[in-house]
Amino acid sequence: MNRRDFIQLTSAGAGALIVPGLTTGGRFIAAEALLDPGLDVAIKKRLADAGLSAAKARGASYADVRIGRYLNQFVTTREDKVQSIINLESFGVGVRVLVNGCWGFASLGDASTEAQVAETAEIAVAIAKANIALLAEPVQLAPQKGFGEVSYKTPFTKNLFEVPIKEKVDLLLSVNGAAMTNGANFVNSVLFMVNEQKYFASTDGSYIDQDVHRIWPTFTVTGIDRATGQFQTRNSLGTAKAMGYEYLQTAPPDRITGRPTTLFNNYYDMLDDATLAARQVKEKVKAKSVEAGKYDLVLDPSHLRLTIHESVGHATELDRVLGYEANLAGTSFATLDKWKSKTFNYGSKQVNVFADKIQPGSMGAVGWDDEGVKTKKWDLIKDGILVNYQAIRDQVHMLGETESNGCCYADSWNAVQFQRMANVSLAPGPDQLSVDELIKDVKKGIYIIGYGSYSIDQQRYNFQFGGQLFYEIKDGQLAGMLKDVAYQSNTQEFWNACVKVSDKRDYRVEGSFFDGKGQPAQLSCVSHGSATARFNGVNVINTARKV
């Protein structure tokens, strides 16, 4: 094995180990073990009840028990070779308690007896009591009704782990072959597959069993101009989905302009995308370098997802707003005084942003969050005005509310659940408006597809974003590919520059496994939906390295 292959292989393995549920406590298993159904729900209930009873007996006013089993499979290939096939499992229990207004938490891996769970709960109570000496203000927990014994399962028709490894390998090698046949110099492709089996029980009277499935097919194609030594890449335009293997259907989408269609909400033709990527990366190498200046930007949902995530998603997390969270990715400019004014223009009247945990196929879609709150949808920005935040049970009283938004999450049984980003999406425009109609009256603009490098400050305000593909727009027509493009703005200026959003026919949901937050850091899964949108007069820079 040469050095380059070794780095690629070890990088894939390292990436696998930071997927949600595997920050610690994961073990390698045989592929067949991924189909093991795990503990019966009746056994989980007995284990949870042991923890709840022990916590109450030691003085907890509230307690919850989370029993988690996390299954993961990663298939990694490069050109005509399989580089790694990794199967992982992590299992354990986490107990959170509230004693005299103070939180305590403890966890144990491979907890299989009632006595073990009870002891873990007792440790959590002891930690809470020890923490009381440092408590500045008692926790105020929003009331929550118990739901009894309920369950949720990601809708799918083809279990990810029932598909033979050979079928997955054959798909990825076919993807690589299609890219190489069409002119790529290098290509690597990966399938990430995750199953979270989560059981939640609380002293409120909830016993919630959830079975969540997620998949992410992705690749990177590289093209080199041998004459100049320059190279360009194009990443997959597929996205992560809360679906089964049926997401990887092969049916040719309509790509007259090279942009993905709304069919990507229902399937992803990975082979077709790789073929197109190889052709586009050759064009990208020879593309004209952009001339810096002001442009009208037409942003595809595959690109806009990251801008939404960084400038709205993180900025409207209440713990960031309050300064409680600053370790990873900073605080927020969208402070309470702006919300209280009821007049703060986060964006133009075309900007309507909502949060939700129920959107079908989205990465954050579950039935209940990790503190037993029924998930829902709610507005963050309405007609350009900041109207709400993302908040959980011990935060909502700060907003004068009594009901959590249902966006609490922990990435493993051994991690404390805390406020995490819901799916945050830009609503499509109300009037019928196609992408071609959006482009046709742009005199000087750039159409951007896919997300690339980015930078944003610690208040989620000043930023710079790149992309995968850039097309010049001249007098309402696409006029060839550009490269070296990035745009700069600040959050308020950018969203106030939004003049038009395409209608629901163009609305797509784009997802990610890797939303980081907290210290110790946790990862969560999140999606962002939008239709193609237009932003006028945005500053574009040339990112080419000057020698």
Q: Identify the pLDDT of residue 7.
A: 33
Q: How many CA atoms lie within 13 A of 540 on its CB side?
A: 28
Distance of CA 423 to the CA centre of its chain: 8
Q: Identify the pLDDT of residue 250.
A: 62
Give the residues across from 200 on adjacent strands: 66, 208
> Could you tell me if 152 and 366 are in contact, meaning their C-beta atoms sit under 8 angstroms apart?
yes
Residue type, 437: E
Q: What is the DSSP string of 59-92?
A: T-SEEEEEEEEEEEEEEEEETTEEEEEEEEEEEE
d(CA 419, CA 96): 15
Q: Identify the pLDDT of residue 26.
A: 80
Q: Which long-range contacts (CB under 8 A, 24 or more apart) does 29-36 make?
A: 29/87, 29/88, 29/89, 30/87, 31/73, 31/85, 31/87, 31/161, 31/165, 33/87, 33/89, 34/71, 34/73, 34/87, 34/89, 34/161, 34/195, 35/159, 35/161, 35/162
Three-state SS at 212: strand
With tokens 């109450």, the residue in question is 56
d(CA 166, CA 179): 20
> Could you tell me if 491 and 314 are in contact, meaning their C-beta atoms sit under 8 angstroms apart?
no
Q: Which residues contact 145 (CB under 8 A, 6 or more apart)?
A: 204, 205
pLDDT per residue as tens digits for the range 94-153: 999 999 999 999 999 999 999 999 999 999 999 999 999 999 999 999 999 999 999 999
d(CA 162, CA 165): 9
- Tell me 390's DSSP state: B
262: tokens are 């709304």
List per-residue pLDDT tens for the chain, 547 residues long: 343 333 333 333 444 444 444 445 689 999 989 999 999 999 999 999 999 999 999 999 999 999 999 999 999 999 999 999 999 999 999 999 999 999 999 999 999 999 999 999 999 999 999 999 999 999 999 999 999 999 999 999 999 999 999 999 999 999 999 999 999 999 999 999 999 999 999 999 999 999 999 999 999 999 998 888 889 999 999 999 999 999 997 654 554 444 444 345 678 999 999 999 999 999 999 999 999 999 999 999 999 999 999 999 999 999 999 999 888 779 999 999 999 999 999 999 999 999 999 999 999 999 999 999 999 999 999 999 999 999 999 999 999 999 999 999 999 999 999 999 999 999 999 999 999 999 999 999 999 999 999 999 999 999 999 999 999 999 999 999 999 999 999 999 999 999 999 999 999 999 999 999 998 899 999 999 999 999 999 999 999 976 4
Residue 350 backbone phi and psi in degrees, to 5: -80, -10
pTM: 0.92
* Nearest residue to 273 via CA among 314, 217, 344: 217
Q: Identify the pLDDT of residue 259.
A: 47
83: tokens are 């580089």
d(CA 118, CA 160): 34
Q: How many CA atoms lie within 13 A of 503 on its CB side?
A: 8
> Could you tell me if 408 and 390 are in contact, meaning their C-beta atoms sit under 8 angstroms apart?
no
Q: Identify the pLDDT of residue 519.
A: 87
Distance of CA 256 to the CA centre of its chain: 29
d(CA 483, CA 469): 8
Residues in the chain: 547
The sign of the dihedral angle between the CA atoms of 519, 525, 526, 527 is: positive
Please calculate the CA angle 211-217-223 and round it to the nearest 5 degrees.
165
Percent of the chain as helix, strand, coil, to the nearest 5 = 25, 35, 35
Sheet holding 423-426, edge to edge: 385-386, 377-382, 353-356, 423-426
User: In this structure, what is the dihedral angle of CA atoms 35, 36, 37, 40, given to the nearest 10 degrees?
Assistant: 180
Distance of CA 547 to the CA centre of its chain: 37
> Could you tell me if 371 and 321 are in contact, meaning their C-beta atoms sit under 8 angstroms apart?
no
Q: Identify the pLDDT of residue 39.
A: 94
